[in-house]
A = this chain, B = another copy of it.
Amino acid sequence: MASEKPLVAVTCTAPVNIAVIKYWGKRDEELILPINSSLSVTLHQDQLKTTTTAAISKDFTEDQIWINGRKEDIGQPRIQACLRQIRHLARKQRSGEEEEDPLPLSPSYKVHIASVNNFPTAAGLASSAAGYACLAYTLARVYGVESDLSEVARRGSGSACRSLYGGFVEWQMGEQADGKDSVARQVAPESHWPELRVLILVVSAEKKLTGSTVGMQTSVETSPLLRFRAEAVVPARMAEMIHYVKERNFEGFGQLTMKDSNQFHATCLDTFPPISYLNDTSRHIIHLVHRFNAHHGQTKVAYTFDAGPNAVIFTLDDTVAEFVAAVKHCFPPESNGDKFLKGLPVGPAPLSDELKAALGMDPTPGGIKYIIATQVGPGPQMLDQPHAHLLGPDGLPKPVA
A interface, CB within 8 angstroms of B? 224-225, 228-229, 232-233, 255, 258-259, 262-263, 265-267, 269-274, 276, 278-280, 283, 286, 290
- In the complex, the answer to whether B263 meets A224 with C-beta atoms within 8 Å is yes
CA distance A223 to B229 in the complex (A): 11
In this complex, the member of A262, A263, A290 whose beta carbon has the largest number of chain B beta carbons within 10 angstroms is: A262
- A295 nearest CB across to chain B (Å): 13
10 cross-chain CB contacts under 8 A: A224-B229, A224-B232, A224-B233, A225-B263, A225-B266, A262-B274, A265-B269, A266-B266, A269-B269, A276-B278
Instruction: Give every chain B residue within 8 A of A280 (Cβ-Cβ).
Output: 279-280
Copies assembled: 2
The verdict on A283 contacting B276 (CB below 8 Å), with A232-B228, A269-B262, A270-B263 known, is: yes
Does more than half of chain A's interface fall in helix, strand or loop, or is it mixed?
helix
Q: Write the nearest CB–CB distance from A332 to chain B, whole angstroms.
A: 19
Residues of B within 8 A of A274 (CB): 262, 286
What is the distance, in angstroms, from A83's C-beta to the closest C-beta of chain B? 37
* Distance of A210 from chain B, by nearest CB (Å): 11
How many angstroms from the CA of A324 to the CA of B396 in the assembled complex?
Answer: 57
Chain B residues whose C-beta falls within 8 Å of the C-beta of A259 in the assembled complex: 272
CB closest chain-B residue, reference A282: B276
Contact of B266 with A270 in the complex, beta carbons under 8 Å:
yes
Smallest beta-carbon distance A334→chain B, Å = 19
Closest B residue to A262 by beta carbon equals B274
User: In the complex, A262→B273 CA distance in Å?
Assistant: 9
Chain B residues, Cβ within 8 Å of A258: 272
Sample of 13 more A-B contacts, CB < 8 Å, known A228-B228, A276-B278: A224-B232, A224-B263, A225-B225, A225-B263, A225-B266, A255-B272, A259-B272, A262-B269, A266-B266, A266-B267, A273-B286, A279-B283, A280-B280
Chain B residues, CB < 8 A from A290: 273
Considering the complex of A and B, which 4 residue pairs feature the smallest CB-CB distances, nearest first? Answer: A266-B266, A266-B270, A266-B269, A273-B290
Contact partners of A263 in chain B: CB under 8 A? 224-225, 269-270
